[in-house]
Chain A
């Protein structure tokens, strides 16, 4: 067993899991509190990356890019809530799917019009391009930064949800929406804040990954489906559930990408195992979701008090 490889892969899994968490936490809150299915949540991920990249190109500073990007994506999220989502909270899930798919098309094309088709590279400061060495382990600095940021946001969100009045309302809303309405809270403002906050977290995830993969059109459309799997597996409306489920899925994906071909190689010719493994590892998360839905439809960690 190559332990340094295993540790590296576990950290890679953690990194992927945390990115998924940033996307899924907003998604699960919007889903749980407003009962709104937002397929276009992945567009926030993309737009965040483009905003950040544009500011970096102007100012040359990654940090300033992130700050401005966050403000920008918060505003975009609030605008989507204000003009579109708000009018649909009471309608059918089918309508949500339709409208937010339309939004995906709109956002993708707008990005194409504004920034062109070629994608956008986001250069990093030199110190982030290096590696951290711990004994035999050589770890990319930037990936460690992603892990740090992901854990930091998770901690902040925990404090926000558990310790603040807004958090209390969010928790109450996720488990019982009518109760919050009955309390005479300005529900519209709560929804607006939650939606925009969710958008900002998704945008942040996009900003973090873009220096590695570049910002590109449609970058959020594939990962959003995985984020939905996270939401379902964790339990709709549960931030804690989203956290654990995201880590489980991140680990599962990375570890199966690294070891599944070896495992399959025990049962079938190596050449076939090598080509079948990536597809099978992609299949695993859906198998997990189907199993959860069939045997524990409320998810692994449903919000406390949910029906």
Chain B
């Protein structure tokens, strides 16, 4: 058996998922389904955000109910410059990373002094502040949101103008994010983050200033999420403060949990399932929230470990490490 082929059933399924995502635009184009390409594009963007949330929530044990704020910040970093006819993508990217990272540094420095449920609440509070800040910005549409009439421009590098182009650049960012997280959690930094999740007291006694590492992790996660926001702004062409409300942050958490907390591919598959389920169910009935709600309850009561957990069950029979 070739070494680079996935050795486990879950590994094979994830490889298949990535492969289908890579081929999806061609298949959908052949099927004349541009709307489903849109849906997949949206799902990929959210997957990047969910991957970023999983870094702090899954690996670091920091449950943030305010991560959607960074999607909003990233999106407004496209929207506001575009409002003044600045379309340079590098500027948008730099702003998203800078503003997202800066906001995370300040709010994280305060939030990380708290633990557990208090951390959940304080991150929610900061995201609500960001939400109302944008609501108060009359010039940029306030509650009504802002239409982005043209996408970010990366002269001579990248064109986001076609649906295909946008999809593949987003897919590339997603792969990069996965690879980055994979390296990160297995590097020195990642071990400290994972160790702090399970036993922070011990980590401090071992000489780690865990606060600093956690803050750095929080900022990195926020920056990645801001990039997702920037992509969402480009894709949707319309942004509003609504995308940073606490309910949206809650949805991001669900996507992590559906897929599997603290796993590499869990967030990706969780997001795919969430977005597609939402689409399919809402096409069936306006009362789809009922089905969705029952699924959430059942997931917690009976479905431990999320989809990754179920897939890992397959591996037990097949041997090898998950």
- Answer whether A and B touch in the complex at a CB cut-off of 8 Å: yes
* A89-97, A123-131, A161-169, A239-247: which lies at the interface: A89-97
Q: What sequence of 0s and 1s flags, for each residue 284-299 of chain A, a beta carbon within 8 Å of any chain B beta carbon?
A: 0011011001100100
Q: Number of A residues contacting the other chain (C-beta, 8 Å)?
A: 43
The stretch of B129-137, B194-202, B213-221, B222-230 in contact with A is B129-137
- Whether a CB of chain A sits under 8 angstroms from the CB of B128 is yes
Distance in angstroms between the alpha carbons of A144 and B296 in the assembled complex = 41
For the complex, is A1 an interface residue (Cβ under 8 Å from B)?
no
Q: Would you call A294 and B110 a contact (CB within 8 A)?
A: yes
Binds A, one of B170-178, B232-240, B287-295, B314-322: B287-295
Given the complex, which residues of B lie within 8 Å of A91, measured CB to CB? 300
Q: Is the CB of A276 within 8 A of B138?
A: yes
Chain A min CB distance to B65 (Å): 8
- B residues 110-165 near A (Cβ < 8 Å) are 110-111, 113-114, 116-118, 120-122, 124-126, 128-129, 132-133, 135-136, 138, 142
Contact A93 to B63, CB < 8 A, known contacts A232-B118, A294-B122: yes
Q: Which stretch (B43-51, B90-98, B179-187, B246-254) binds chain A?
A: B246-254
A98 within 8 A of B: yes
Is there a chain A Cβ closer than 8 Å to B1's Cβ? no
Inter-chain contact A106/B122, CB cutoff 8 Å: no
B257 near A98 (CB under 8 angstroms)?
yes
Bound form: Cα–Cα A220–B129 in Å: 20
Decide if B296 touches A293 in the complex (CB within 8 Å). Answer: no
Across the interface, name the chain B residue whose C-beta is closest to A39.
B250
Please pick, from A95, A101, A290, the residue contacting B125 in the complex, using a CB distance under 8 A. A290
Q: A272-B138, A286-B129, A294-B122 given as contacts; is B246 within 8 A of A102 (CB)?
A: no
Instruction: Choose the segment among A16-24, A107-115, A205-213 that binds chain B (4+ C-beta atoms closer than 8 Å).
Output: A107-115
In-complex Cβ contact of A286 among B126, B254, B297 (8 A): B126
Assess whether A103 is interfacial by the CB under 8 Å rule: yes
Known: A94-B257, A276-B138, A290-B129. A37 touches B117 (CB 8 A): yes
**Contact assessment for A283 and B128 in the assembled complex, using a CB-CB cutoff below 8 Å:** yes
Q: Which A residues from 61 to 118 make CB contacts under 8 A with B?
A: 84, 87-88, 91, 93-95, 97-99, 101-106, 108-110, 112-113
List the B side residues contacting A103 at CB < 8 Å. 293, 297
Q: Does A138 contact B (CB under 8 A)?
A: no
Contacts of A272 in B (CB 8 A): 138
Chain B residue contacts of A98, Cβ below 8 A: 253-254, 257, 296, 299-300
How far apart sit A110 and B294, CA to CA, in the bound complex (Å)?
12
Chain A residues with CB under 8 Å of B284's CB are none
Please give, as numbers and ranges, the residues of chain B lying within 8 Å of A94 by CB-CB distance. 63, 253, 257, 261
Q: Does chain B have a CB within 8 A of A225? A: yes
Q: Does B301 reach chain A (CB closer than 8 Å)?
A: yes
Bound together, the chains give a CA A221 to CA B245 distance in angstroms of 12
How far is the CB of B245 from the nearest CB of chain A, in Å? 10
Query: Chain A residues with Cβ under 8 A from B136's Cβ?
Result: 275-276, 278-280, 283
The chain B residue sitting closest to A99, CB to CB, is B300
Cβ-based interface call for A229 (8 A): yes
Residues from chain B with Cβ under 8 Å of A282 in the complex: 132, 135
Proximity string of chain B (295-313) to chain A, C-beta cutoff 8 Å, 1 when within and 0 when not: 1110111000000000000
C-alpha gap A179/B87 in the complex (Å): 63
In the complex the two chains form, is A102's CB within 8 Å of B63's CB?
A: no
Q: Closest approach, in angstroms, between the C-beta of A234 and any C-beta of chain B?
A: 13
- A contact residues around B120 at 8 Å (CB): 93, 97
Further 7 A-B residue pairs, CB within 8 A, beyond A105-B292, A275-B138: A102-B294, A105-B293, A106-B290, A109-B293, A279-B136, A286-B132, A297-B114
Mind listing 30 A-B residue pairs with CB under 8 Å? A88-B301, A93-B63, A97-B65, A97-B250, A99-B300, A102-B294, A102-B296, A105-B290, A105-B296, A106-B290, A109-B293, A221-B247, A225-B124, A225-B128, A225-B246, A232-B118, A232-B121, A275-B136, A275-B142, A279-B142, A283-B132, A283-B136, A287-B125, A290-B110, A290-B125, A290-B126, A293-B114, A294-B114, A297-B114, A297-B118
